[in-house]
Amino acid sequence: MRYGHFDDQTREYVIETPETPLPWINYLGSESYFGLISNTAGGYSFYKDARLRRLTRYRYNNAPLDTGGRYIYLRDNDPVLASARTWSPTWMPTRTPLDFYECRHGMGYTTIRSRMAGIESQTRYFVPLGENLEIWELTLTNQRDQPADLSVFSAIEFNLWDAMDDATNFQRNYSIGQVEVVEDVIYHKTEYRERRDHFAYFACSEKLTGFDTQRDAFLGSYRGWDSPKVVEAGHSEDSIAHGWQPIGSHHVKVQLKVGEQKKIIFILGYHENPKDAKFDPPESQTINKRTVLPVISKYLNCDEVEKSFQALRVLWEGLLEKFQVSTPDVHTNRMVNIWNAYQTMITFNMSRSASYFESGIGRGMGFRDSTQDLLGFLHLIPERARERILDVAATQLETGGAYHQYQPLTKRGNNDVGSGFNDDPLWLVLAVTAYVRETGDWGILDEQVVYDNQPGSEKPLYDHLQRSLQYTLDRLGPHELPLIGRADWNDCLNLNCFSDTPGQSFQTTTNKEGKVAESVFIAGLFVLAAKEMAELSEKLEAKDKKQDRTYLLPPSEFYMGKAAKMESIIWQHGWDGDWFRRAYDDFSHVLGSKENDEGRIFIEPQGICVMADLGIEDGRAEKALNSVDEHLATPHGIVLQQPAFSKYYLHLGEISSYPPGYKENASIFCHTNPWIMIAETKLGHGDKAHDYYSRINPSVREKISDLHRCEPYVYVQTIAGRDAATHGEAKNSWLSGTAAWNYVAITQWILGIRPTYDGLRVAPVIPSAWKNFEVARMYRGVRYVVQVERKGLGNEVQLEVNGKPVKGNIIPMPAENTKEVRVRVTIT
C-alpha cells in the first residue's frame, strides 16, 4: 500500500494523507540553520548544533508521537461557524478532518496544502540560502461563495537553547524564560541577560490583533496543542512570559472576498549580536535590535520570499546536475538523480545527530560516520567536504586514534564517549583519498592540522593518514589481527565490555584490558586503507619528485607490504573455509565461524574483505559471497548475521542485547548491504549487485509502505530481519551511512563511473537486461556525457572519447578549459 507518490519532475514526494504509518519528515536548511519538519508540520529548529543551540522545543516519544512543531490554526470569526470551524491547515495538531490534504517534501523545503470548508491554504516552509532563519509562507484562498472572516494563529514553543538541560533541569528553567514583544515581533531572550549573545525572533508580515508568549495562557493549563483556549475563544491574551514555558503565537485577522487570495509570512530566526553591543540602550537589559531588523523586514516581503525560494531551487538543480543518470530502471534513476543525492547532503550535515530517531542530544558528529558520509557527498560541494575533512582530522589523537564523536558547534571531541573504537581512524584514509581522486586537490595533504584540537600539535594531513594506519599496526592481538577496542564498525560488538550492570553504556564500559579480542573486519578495512595509501604514495612519487613536500613520503612498497602481511594473517586466522570470520573474543574463541552455534556468519567481513580484493583471483571471494546469499540474504535485504543471538552473551556485548532480528542482532542493517553490492561487482555479477540494490531501495519498497512504514524516499538504518516478528519493517530513517554507501555502490560500481587520480574510469557492471544507459557527470569542472551500450553479456568495456577510441577504461584528462567530453562506451 502507498500513502503518496513520487513527482520526479518537481523532485518532490507527494504525501496524500496526513496519517502515514510514521511521521514522514524532511529537512530545512543546509548551511547553519536547520529544521526537521514532518508531513503534519511537526518538528523543530536549531542553529548548527541540535543539542547546544536549539530554537524550538520538541518532545520525543510523545503521544501522539509527532507532537510539537510549526503550527498554524485557522478559525472562522463568524460566531455561528466559529465553534464548528477551527482547524489546522496541516492537520496536526487539531486533527480536524480536512476536505483535501497534500504534503510535498522537496529539496530543502516542504509545502503542505489543504482545503477545509472552502478555504484553501498552502504553507511553504524553507530556509533562505545564507540566512539563519526559516520562512513559513501561508497562502489563503477563499473558494466559498461568500466572504470569509478568519483568524490565523501561529504557534511554536521555544527551547531554552541547551536541549539536554531544557529537558531535565526544571528547577532552574521554570524561572529563567524571558521574552520581549516589540512592534509585533516576538523575541525569545532567555539567558541573554547573562552569557548568551544570541536570541530568537518570530515575526509576522501582518499587523497583529494579539499575541501570546506564555504557554499556559495560550493553551490553558489542562489543554494540549490540539485545543488551545485562545484559538477556541478567538482572541489572544497578549501574555508576556516570565519563566515557565515561553512560546510564540501571533493572532492575525483576515478578511477574504469571494475568490480572494492572501499571503501571510511568518519568520522564525536566530540572531547573534556583538558582545559589546548586546543591549540598546547599552546600560539597559533590552535587546539591541538594530542588527536584526533589516533581516526581518527583508523577509517579511513576499517578493523577497519568492526570490529566495527560487534561489534554493536553483541551488539544488545545480547540485543534482552533478550526476544524472538515465537507465531502464525508474527506481535507480529516481534515487540517484534526486533522493539518494539529497540524503547524502542531509547525512553530511547531521551526521547521526538529529532525526526522528536521533534526539539531537545524544550524539554529535561521529568520526567514522562523518568520514563515510563524505564518500557520497564529496562531488556535490567539494569545498565543504574539504572543510569537514580538516575538522574531523583535528579531533584525531596523537596516537592515531580518534575521538569517536565531536560537537558541531565547538568542533571539540566528546570526552564522555572518548576514543578506542579501533576502526575509526582508518575511515579517514578512505575519505581523504576519495576526496583527492574527486578533486585533484593534492594540496590538502599538506594542510597543517592539529591533533586533539591542541594548538602547537599541527602536522600535515598526510601525517594524520600515516598515523591512522600505524594505530592499527601498534595494536595487534594474539593472532596478529587488529585488536577491536571498544568496538569496530559494529558499535555493538563489545568484546571487552562484559557488562552485567543495567544502564551501563556498552560502548564505554570496558572490563577487559583489550589485549586479546581481535577484529577480522578491521583487518580487512586495514588492507583496503593500506592499498589506498600505497596507491596515493605511488601517485605522489610519480607526480613531482622535486616538489617540496611538507611530509616524508614512504615508498609505496611500504604500504603494499603492510597490506600483504595483513592479508596473509586474514587467510591464516580469518578465513573459515566458506566465508571470512568475524572476530576473536576475549577468550580467543572465534566468532563468525562454523564452530559457533549462533553468529556463525557475519556480513561485514565478507563485504570489506572482498572490497579489499581478497580472494578475487582464487575463488574464495566468490565462495564468501555465495555464503552471504545462502545464509544472509532475504527478500528485504541482507541480514547482519545468522543465526541471531537468542540470549544475552556477556562476552559479546550489546549485539546480543537486542531481540533477534532487530538492529545489530541480525536485522538488515542497511549500511552493510552496499558493501556486498560492490563486492558482487568486483566479481562481475551485475544482476546480483543490482538485485541487492533493489531490495533495500526505498523507492522499490514504496509499494509496501504499510509494512516498511518509514519514508519511501530515503534509506533507513535498519529493516527488521527474518528472526523478527515484524520482518520487513524499517526503522531509523535518514541518518545512516547507508545513504553514502548506496550512492557509491550504484554510481561508482554498478554504473561504474569512478574517479581515479588520472581521470574518470568507466567500468559498468550492470544487469544483463539493461541494453543501455546514459550518465552526465561533472568531474573537476568538466561535464562528461557518457553513453553506454550493451552489445554482449560480459563486462568488457571499449571507450570512444569525443569520437576517438581510447585504450583501457579511464577517460584521459581533457585539455584545459574543456567544458564537455562525450564518451561512447560499448560493453561486450
Using CB under 6 A, list all residues that contact ligand GLC: 352, 366, 368-369, 489-492, 507, 654, 663-664, 717, 736
Beta bridge partners of 264: 138
Smallest gap from residue 649 Cβ to ligand GLC (A): 15
SS3 content of the chain, % helix, strand, coil (to 5): 30, 25, 45
Smallest gap from residue 361 Cβ to ligand GLC (A): 12
Give the span between the Cα atoms of 401 and 486, in whole angstroms.
12
Q: Which residues contact 519 (CB under 8 A, 6 or more apart)?
A: 422, 423, 481, 482, 483, 484, 488, 493, 582, 583
Q: Which is closer to ligand GLC, CB of 234 or CB of 364?
A: 364
Cell of 176: 529563567
Q: Which is closer to ligand GLC, CB of 273 or CB of 343?
A: 343
Q: Which is closer to ligand GLC, CB of 122 or CB of 372?
A: 372
Give the span between the Cα atoms of 658 and 672, in whole angstroms.
18
188 SS3 class? strand
Nearest to 762 by CA among 792, 785, 793: 785
What are the backbone angles phi and psi of residue 457, rounded to the nearest 5°? -100, 15
Contact 278, 288 (CB under 8 A): yes
What are the backbone angles phi and psi of residue 465, rounded to the nearest 5°? -65, -40
Smallest gap from residue 483 Cβ to ligand GLC (A): 18
Beta bridge partners of 150: 76, 254
Q: Which is closer to ligand GLC, CB of 308 or CB of 490?
A: 490
Q: Which is closer to ligand GLC, CB of 246 or CB of 366?
A: 366
- Matching residue, cell 584521459: 812
Cα–Cα–Cα angle for 600, 603, 604, rounded to 5 degrees: 115
Half-sphere exposure at residue 826, Cβ-oriented, CA atoms within 13 angstroms:
9
**Shortest Cβ contact with ligand GLC: which residue?**
491
Smallest gap from residue 411 Cβ to ligand GLC (A): 19
Cell of 458: 599541527
Smallest gap from residue 655 Cβ to ligand GLC (A): 8
Nearest to 63 by CA among 38, 88, 93: 93
Q: Which is closer to ligand GLC, CB of 395 or CB of 717?
A: 717
Q: Which is closer to ligand GLC, CB of 491 or CB of 680?
A: 491
Smallest gap from residue 408 Cβ to ligand GLC (A): 15
Give the span between the Cα atoms of 453 and 511, in whole angstroms.
29
Smallest gap from residue 740 Cβ to ligand GLC (A): 12
Smallest gap from residue 41 Cβ to ligand GLC (A): 28
Give the span between the Cα atoms of 261 and 220, in whole angstroms.
32
Q: In what order do the strands lie in the sheet with 810-812?
A: 753-756, 759-762, 810-812
Cell of 464: 594524520
- Extended strands (E) in 302-423: 323-326, 365-366, 405-406
Cell of 709: 512504514
Q: How many CB atoms lie within 10 A of CB 553?
A: 16
Half-sphere exposure at residue 221, Cβ-oriented, CA atoms within 13 angstroms:
1
Give the span between the Cα atoms of 268 and 34, in whole angstroms.
11
Q: Which is closer to ligand GLC, CB of 39 or CB of 736?
A: 736
DSSP letters along 377-399, please? HTTT-HHHHHHHHHHHHTTB-TT
**Catalytic residue (choose from 373, 488, 491, 585):** 491
Q: How many CB atoms lie within 10 A of CB 550?
A: 13
491 catalytic? Reply is: yes
The torsion angle over the Cα atoms of residues 295, 301, 303 and 309, rounded to 10 degrees, is: 60
Q: Which is closer to ligand GLC, CB of 490 or CB of 697?
A: 490
Smallest gap from residue 735 Cβ to ligand GLC (A): 8
Smallest gap from residue 587 Cβ to ligand GLC (A): 23
Smallest gap from residue 607 Cβ to ligand GLC (A): 13
Q: Which is closer to ligand GLC, CB of 132 or CB of 736?
A: 736
Give the span between the Cα atoms of 121 and 139, in whole angstroms.
5
Smallest gap from residue 732 Cβ to ligand GLC (A): 8
Question: In angstroms, how far is CA 105 from the centroid of its own chain?
Answer: 16
Q: Which is closer to ligand GLC, CB of 131 or CB of 491?
A: 491
Give the span between the Cα atoms of 237 and 398, in whole angstroms.
59
The torsion angle over the Cα atoms of residues 202, 206, 212 and 215, rounded to 10 degrees, is: -50
Cell of 539: 601517485
Give the span between the Cα atoms of 342 and 546, in whole angstroms.
42
- Matching residue, cell 560493453: 827
DSSP letters along 453-469, please? T-TT--EEHHHHHHHHH
Residue type, 684: G
Q: Which is closer to ligand GLC, CB of 329 or CB of 711?
A: 711
Give the span between the Cα atoms of 727 and 711, in whole angstroms.
17
Q: Which is closer to ligand GLC, CB of 556 or CB of 656?
A: 656
The torsion angle over the Cα atoms of residues 632, 422, 451 and 49, rounded to 10 degrees, is: 50
Q: How many CB atoms lie within 10 A of CB 822?
A: 13
Give the span between the Cα atoms of 634 and 698, in whole angstroms.
16
Smallest gap from residue 633 Cβ to ligand GLC (A): 19
Q: Which residues are catalytic?
A: 491
